[in-house]
Amino acid sequence: MRMETAIIVALCLSIVGNIINAWGMIYMKIGHEAANAKTMRKSLQKYMEMRALEEAGEKQDSSVAKPGQKKTAELSGGFLKQCKWWIGMALYGGGSFMHVASLGFGPSALLNPMEGLTLVANTLSAPSCLGEAITKYDIWGTIVIVVGTLMVVLFGPHSSEEYTAEEILDRFGNSPFIIWSACLWTCTGVAYTISRYIEYINERDDIQMDGTLNPRGSIFLALTYTSTKGVMGGYTMLFGKMFAEVVAESGEGDNQFVKWETYLFFVLFIGFNFLMEYWRQKALNLFSTMYCVPLFQVTLVIFAVFTGAIFFDEFSGLSVLNLCLFFLGIVIICIGVVILSVMTESRKMNAVKPRTKMRAAFLAVAAIFFLKPKSKRSRDPGNATNDNESPKVLHKNLSLEDINLDEKVDDDSGHGPNRSPNRSPIPWERSPQDEPDSIELPMNALTGGQLVLQPVG
């Protein structure tokens, strides 16, 4: 009976923690968007000053930036100045702490799949927090995740042994964990080396990330960043469970805080947390959440479940049938995660059918290695446009306050409501005829005292 009570407590802590995580992720993304908008405003202001000097016939400083934010693979720190980002980080930290605390009361293979409930909480919070309507795809995605979660709870491991710090340290020598870790770190190291090379050649050739999967190597970079975050998250949960175990053991009278292993587990937990957040923020800073969110959640669930279960040997007590049904529940949760993440991040893209978005997201998760983005943009220096031929911009009597990057654009513009018009459309929205070769500032973009960037076809 004691173990059943502990499992219930663990599930409650994990569920509540993941609900708080959902609110934290929303605020962190708002912070990123606010930081990018602020940088764009500064760049536009510098550009207008440059054009004003050109018309006055004065000599130009070549260091003055042109409109547009250069987005390389290096993580910008502008979001750290946003209050909402810190609010989101605080919420996410609190929710993560509750989830880690739950690991001290039950098996990690049972509790880590609860991460999928983060998107369920996000979807259910949308009507009250964002004024958005729940669609049938939201309902189906929620049902799929709930069904998968119930299968995991019913057929997953229901018992967890108690460990001291020395016993946990001894488990690092188990062969299955050594093989699993060697494979993970080898693949991660190779992917990291390749991604660094892609970053280098893109910077050398002045190829910038634009939020889509079109720039050279962007598919591999998006997959590497998100999967690396998943690997770091898996080990974060592992060391978190280790620390939670020794704390629980100390609470029962066997003080583990007099042993150095306890502090090692805590330091590793904090260290991998920082690494996980670094790769999360790097991916969010460069790519659309349409791609990042499903990959974040799927990789976190998979790596956290298997890393913890292999280390603590939590699958040994399951029958073959229960193990198969447990794995099926994990797959169902991942499918529901993709459905909900697509709908959550594409509510503002009403011009594209939900089935088209869903198909594209599943391809991104299941077969992203085989996607070959085609770009009609030529990189031949001979075909480059002359910067001096940029169209003139009406800038007189235009101040920084006149620039509104958040202005809604009519559906006829092809961007959908509430989307920033200066952001490139996602791949499945773009047709070859509509893809612009460059972004210009036309004269008719200035309407009603608002400056809006529009792609010229």
Q: What is the DSSP letter of 403?
A: B
Q: Give me the amino acid identity at 273.
A: N
The dihedral through the CA atoms of 277, 283, 285, 288 has a sign that is negative
Residue 382 has a pLDDT of: 46
Asked if residue 28 is part of any domain, the answer here is: yes
| pLDDT tens, position by position, 354-392 | 566 556 556 555 554 444 444 444 444 444 444 444 444
For residues 334-356, b (16+ Cβ closer than 10 Å) or e, as one string?
bbbbbbbbbbbbbbebeeeebee
Q: Is residue 44 part of a domain?
A: yes
Q: Cα 189 to chain center, whole Å?
A: 20
User: What domain range includes position 301?
Assistant: 2-370
Residue 6 has pLDDT above 90, yes or no: no
Q: What is the pTM of this model?
A: 0.63
Q: Give how far Cα 339 sits from Cα of 24, 147, 209, 332, Å.
A: 20, 14, 26, 11
* Residue-level pLDDT at 347: 55
pLDDT more than 70, % of the chain = 66
The Cα angle at residue 161 between residues 160 and 166, in degrees rounded to 5: 135
How many angstroms separate the Cα of 9 from the Cα of each of 239, 257, 452?
Answer: 20, 24, 52
Q: Is residue 411 part of a domain?
A: no
Residue 175 sits at the vertex; the CA angle it makes with 174 and 180, to the nearest 5 degrees, is: 105
- 357 occurs within a structural domain: yes
Confidence at 329, pLDDT banded by 50, 70, 90: very high
pLDDT band at 131 (very low <50, low <70, confident <90, very high): low
Predicted confidence (pLDDT) at residue 48 exceeds the cutoff of 70? yes
Q: Is the residue at 408 inside a domain? A: no
pLDDT in tens, 248-280: 888 888 888 888 989 999 999 999 989 998 998
**pLDDT in the model for residue 4:** 67
pLDDT of res. 326: 92
- 183, amino acid identity: C
DSSP class of 447: E
Out of 33-47, 148-162, 205-219, 232-246, which region has the weakest mean confidence (pLDDT)?
33-47
**Residue 431 resides in a domain:** no
User: Is there a contact between 427 and 213 (Cβ–Cβ < 8 Å)?
Assistant: yes
| Residue 46: inside a domain | yes
More confident residue, 48 or 377: 48
Q: Looking at the 3D structure of the chain, how many domains does it have? A: 1
DSSP state letters, 411-433: GGGTS-TT--TTSPPPGGG--TT
> Lowest-pLDDT range, 7-21, 283-297, 400-414?
400-414
pLDDT confidence bin for 2, thresholds 50/70/90: very low
Give the side-chain half-sphere CA count within 13 A for 170. Answer: 5
pLDDT at position 46 is 81
pLDDT reading at 88 higher than 60: yes
Residue 448: inside a domain:
no
How far apart, in whole angstroms, are the C-alpha atoms of residue 397 and residue 296? 45
